Amino acid sequence: MELTARPTAELAWLVDDLVSRLPGAEKAVVLSADGLLMAASSGVAREDAEHLSAVAASMFGLARGASRRFGKGPVRQAMIEMASGFLFVSSGGTGACLAVLATETADVGLMAYEMAMLVVRVGEYLSAPARANGVPARRPAVPAQAGPGE
């Protein structure tokens, strides 16, 4: 998968802006539909960003499967509510997703709305081109980010 058309720093700026504007938002990632990390918000350790990308892709894949099975159309957003937070995943353009991890105090409606508006404004920019058959995916060049205590 070639991600050179979508500079990582510019995608990171978009998710940094989203996290900084939304009360309760902690971390955000842009990922390809197959779970490859494209960009992460500041302060997210690479290992955490990659794990969040994999979880988000799996979650969104399950949502798409349920939607197909029951004829509910394209999935716009999926959400998991946990004891102390939420994970939101929304379609982020062709072949990509946007995921946000938030605290339990986050405004669910506002989070969903702002994620949807970001995708409307820059969804094409968040897109990930499809991999060519037989061509292995290349790992995107995401700068290493220090994790907590590093």
Kindly list the distances between the CA atom of residue 103 and the CA atoms of 61, 76, 84, 112, 117, in Å, as whole numbers in the listed order. Answer: 23, 21, 6, 14, 20
- The predicted pLDDT at position 9 comes to 75
> Does a structural domain hold residue 133?
no
> Does a structural domain hold residue 135?
no
> Does a structural domain hold residue 141?
no
> Does a structural domain hold residue 71?
yes
Provide the CA 81 distance to its chain's centre, in angstroms. 17
Provide the CA 8 distance to its chain's centre, in angstroms. 13
Give the number of residues written for the chain.
Answer: 150
Tokens (6 digits) for 119: 């995708």
- C-alpha 38/C-alpha 137 separation (Å) is 12
> Does a structural domain hold residue 143?
no
pLDDT digits (tens, 9 = 90+) for 51-103: 999 999 999 999 999 999 999 999 999 999 999 999 999 998 788 999 999 99
Total tally of structural domains belonging to the chain: 1
CB burial string 118-134: b at 16+ within 10 A, e below: bbeebbebbbbeebeee
> Does a structural domain hold residue 50?
yes
pTM confidence score: 0.80
The CATH number of residue 73's host domain is 3.30.450.30
- C-alpha 40/C-alpha 117 separation (Å) is 18
pLDDT digits (tens, 9 = 90+) for 93-147: 788 999 999 999 999 999 999 999 998 887 776 776 665 555 544 444 444 444 4
Host domain of residue 103: 8-126
> Does a structural domain hold residue 29?
yes
> Does a structural domain hold residue 86?
yes
